[in-house]
Structure 1
Amino acid sequence: MKLRLVAICGILILSAAVPTVGMIVCAAIVAIQAALMALRPIIACLPTSLTAGQQRSATLRFSIHVATHSEPPHLVIRTLRALLDQDWPSGGYEIIVMDNNTADPALWKPVATFCAAHPCRITFLHRMGVRGAKAGALNIALAHTRANATHVVTVDADYVVHRDFLSRAAEALHRTGADYVQFPQSYVATTTTAPGVDAELEEYFRTNAAAADEAEAVLLTGTLCVISKTALVSVGGWSGATTTEDADLGVRLCHAGFAGRFINQIVGKGLLPLSLRDLEKQRYRWCSGNVQTLLLHGRKILTPAGNFNLHKRLVILTQLTSWFSLALVPFALLTVWLLTGHGHTVAAMLAAGAILLSLADIASRVVARGMRDGQALPVILNALACRVALAPQSAKATFDALAGCRLKFVVTDKSGGKGAGSLPICHLMVFLTALLLLLGGHPTEPLIRAALLTLLLPLPAALLTDKSLRAYRAAIAPPLTEVSA
């Protein structure tokens, strides 16, 4: 890992010092960006490869796993109450709460007390020293799953599922014959507050997951997924090798020949990240973890060594690169070249082109999806602002993962008290750098000017997104402070 970081940093230093080398690097980045942008229309032209659904005769028995770490106890209890109130026979499912590495008894003991009141229906486990973050916790839950369970269901600690969740899951499994199904993530109270943030997050499911459904190669997204226990065990369970254990499992399931489908039905809702800082941490983990997964399984996905047809390879690649961004490198190189008087070179033009291409990719995806879904113009613009505000973190996450930096699993704060505060410093740094280069560097090329103007956008976009999340946090304040009995 350290060798990879040293090598990449060495290439960047050489690129900055020798514009010819930098030109090659920027040309490669532009080519990669263009290729990834071209994948979506190519996939849309591929024939659907769905197999006929097979009715399963066996009775489905679910084991619902709720992994928790330092969660507000009233939120977890609210989630458990919804799971207890399913219209599925009580003997046909169990609930396992796996609390890992929560040191404060005030956070896990109320949950343990609630679970103890339902001894035949909920199993509560509390473990310290668990390795592998959420993957490690889910593997412990898997080890405690009833022998007769047919499917494992994962539900995040803040998600309140609908009463017919298990019935819908059973219907989807019967109808599709899939080995695992993924329902979309959805969020409470976003209609009037933070609809743009909700729309930005929803774009992944409406675009990438929907396209992957047609190839039966949907990657898991952590919550509201239902997996055949046989399939899960056969691929070795969950892995903590990356910070997106869900996407990693999805790749391994697909490679083993199991079929995964996306079921576009809202079956439960959770909480949005409660601040811009929390939203950024979440996006950093998603992006860096997916890049880690791509590097880990790249040989299977991109070469004949993998057990995938072309359709599966392409949709898996688009899912893992949903938030992929190489913009950090051209931004750094363009800054150096403008400061050292090389702003007129072909290399600088290519760097500017790469930055503009990143913005074009963001705008085309968010705006096109919003228009197809008939979203109001203010919602589309707010969704676009949210994606632009998160662009610096996506760029940093991509670079860190490619460079082999050590990545840590970070749980999204749901208490509402840790993430609020001033804007991240990176937005201000990017804004000031671009502004100084525009005013002091006097670039004459329109392409470079346009790129620098593009780099001014994340800061105002972050201010707008932060305002939306503040309104969201205020709107759901009662549920956050509610104490459950």
Structure 2
Amino acid sequence: MGLRPLVACLPARLPTGRQEFATPHFSIHVATHAEPPQMVIRTLRALLDQDWPPERYEIIVMDNNTADPALWKPVESYCAAHPGRITFLHRMCVRGAKAGALNIALEHTRADATHVVTVDADYVVNRDFLRRASEALHRTGADYVQFPQSYVATATTAPGVDAELEEYFRTNAAVADDAEAVLLTGTLCVISKQALIAVGGWSGATTTEDAELGVRLRQAGFAGRFINQIVGKGLLPLSLRDLEKQRYRWCSGNVQTLLRHSWTILTPAGNFNLHKRLVILSQLTAWFSLAFVPCALLTVWLLAGQEHTPAATLAAGAIVLSLCDLTIRVALRGLHDRLTFSVVLRALACRIALAPQSAKATFDALTGCRLKFVVTDKSGDKAQATGSLPACHLMIFVTAVILLIGVQPTQPLILAALLALLLPLPAALLTDQSLRAYRAAVAPPLTEVSA
């Protein structure tokens, strides 16, 4: 909590950029796994329609570990209809999840490519995407640039969820750009092929291979910038459960990355000054939460009749501070961006609804639990089969009610902590309602038959 305002107060130190620049040749890598074929084809159509010379870019589709031919064969057929423009690869038994797939694509990148571009299978990029990428590389002189993630059809159906996800780019990524300490966030990143090869390519050691690569690129002395321009839009997770899985992966993967590179990030052994260390740490802990342990300890202490012990007070204080932290971050960003009260409230509800997963992800990563890369469902089929009442949130709610009624604590701080534990359930229901409306809005494009 103290780190974020400290980082925000540090002065910007923007680089001047390099003078020499050659027109880039792009190799666009689209990694897929069990994706709806019509969605992938829509992504490829947008990539083929770039206002960039066709001879200056290629597209590589790397489908990994998709067992059902009905999911990858239509994509293969579409790619075959564009020889020389798209290369389609299908591999089974690929290790390292998305990182492994991207490394295979890197091996098949043509020799004259200067930059690798990653685009998620659900992202439809603007026609000027590659031109803007070239301009950004020229203007900044950076070895890699990261564009923000953005989502279709959120203005009327899920503005709060969109605002909650956007907070990272509007706050953490923007501050990181000022310090020239930007980490990658996956899709819509453009990386010098020379730099990517120099640091050993992608790594499947963490579930956020993008952030982990960003740390290695910065440690090796390569410069990165955040370009705050919307150049493409993808799909939100189509259910609360999928949104939770996504947040769990982001949070746990970043904690893994922090632990893996703690020696270089936190000690003078790394090639970073203090400003960059703090900014990198701030990015990796954007969804960090240590509330799991205080919640468990407070429950145990109250059930044991130890309400007036320092331990119970400390645990309650940690829970209240966690709620204050996420509330202030979302509210301040909403005020800065002049969002309506309704949107800010829904964004706050989304952040609170995801807090249990952030807490669990942090705990699992810190305790060394084996983490698995989970692909976010984009078909909507699994979302319709999930229940509307999240079990984890219900358990927290019921526990808080039992403690309030059974123990009847009198300390204001403990009362505030228990009331805070009541919030995730209604917040989850509100967020789930938004995602249901969103799923209904984007369903036709997902189910349409490709020509």
TM-score calculated relative to the size of structure 2: 0.99
TM-aligned CA deviation for residue 56 of structure 1: 3.4
Helix, strand or coil for the counterpart of 1:319? helix
Amino acid in structure 2 at the alignment position of 1:208: N
Which ranges of structure 2 fall in alignment gaps of 5 or more residues?
A: none
Indicate if the aligned counterparts of 2:144 and 2:189 stay in contact, CA closer than 8 A: yes
User: What residue number does 2:435 align with?
Assistant: 469
2-structure distance, mates of 1:467, 1:204: 23
1:163 to 2:127 alignment: yes
2:273 is the alignment partner of 1:315: no
> Where does residue 390 of structure 2 map in the other structure?
424
Alpha-carbon distance, 1:248 to partner = 0.2
Residue 115 of structure 1 aligns with which residue? 79
- Match of residue 372 from structure 1: 336
Question: Is 2:444 the partner of 1:478?
Answer: yes
CA distance in 2, matches of 1:44, 1:199: 20
Q: Which of 234, 253, 261 is the equivalent residue of 1:270?
A: 234
**Alpha-carbon distance, 1:419 to partner:** 2.6
CA deviations on 1:262-297 (whole Å, 9 max, x unpaired) are: 000000000000000000000000000000000000
Contact kept? 2:23, 2:134, Cα under 8 Å: no
Q: Separation in 1 of the partners of 2:158 and 2:363?
A: 29
Q: Among residues 30, 42, 49, which one is paired with 1:66 in the alignment?
A: 30
The amino acid that maps onto 1:264 is: N
Give, in whole Å, the separation in 1 of the partners of 2:5 and 2:412: 29
Q: 1:45 offset after TM fit, Å? A: 2.2
For 1:291, the equivalent position in structure 2 comes to: 255
Among 229, 248, 251, which residue is 2:193 paired with? 229
For the pair 1:240 / 2:204, whether they are aligned, the reply is yes
Consecutive aligned runs of 4 or more in structure 1 exceeding 4 Å deviation: none
Q: Secondary structure at the match of 1:240?
A: coil
Secondary structure in 1 aligned to 2:190?
A: strand
Mapped to 2, the partners of 1:319 and 1:336 lie a distance apart of 33
From 411, 418, 440, give the equivalent of 2:406: 440
**Aligned pair 1:217/2:181, yes or no?**
yes
In structure 2, the residue matched to 1:183 is: 147
Deviations, residues 28-73 of structure 1 (Å, cap 9, x unaligned): xxxxxxxxx1222212222222110223332210000000000000
One-letter amino acid matched to 1:323? W
Q: Give the alignment partner of residue 455 of structure 1, picking from 407, 415, 421.
A: 421
Give runs of aligned pairs for residues 408-419 of structure 1, distance below 5 A. 408-419=372-383
**CA separation in 2, counterparts of 1:55 and 1:74?**
42
Partner amino acid, structure 2, of 1:234: A
Match of 1:259 among 223, 227, 245: 223
Distance 1:480 1:79 in 2: 12
Q: CA deviation at 1:325?
A: 0.4
Which of 66, 80, 85 lines up with 1:102 in the alignment?
66
Residues 1:249 and 2:213 aligned together: yes
* Number of equivalences: 449
- Output aligned runs, 1:74-85, within 5 Å: 74-85=38-49
With 322-331 and 417-426 compared, the bigger mean Cα shift is at: 417-426
Q: CA deviation at 1:147?
A: 0.7
> Secondary structure of 2:413's match?
helix
Q: Secondary structure at the match of 1:419?
A: helix
Question: Which residue of 1 is the match for residue 2 of structure 2?
Answer: 38
User: Who is 2:354 aligned against?
Assistant: 390
Please list the CA deviations of residues 314-352 of structure 1 after superposition, one character each: whole Å capped at 9, or x if unmatched.
Answer: 110000000000001000000000001111111100000
Cross-structure match for 2:306: 342
Identity among equivalent positions (%) equals 81
| C-alpha separation in 2, matches of 1:427 and 1:397 | 15
Q: CA deviation at 1:233?
A: 0.3
- Unmatched 5+ residue regions in structure 1? 1-36
The answer for the alignment partner of 1:150 in structure 2 is 114
1:300 and 2:269 equivalent? no
- For 2:92 and 2:74, the matched residues in 1 are separated by 17
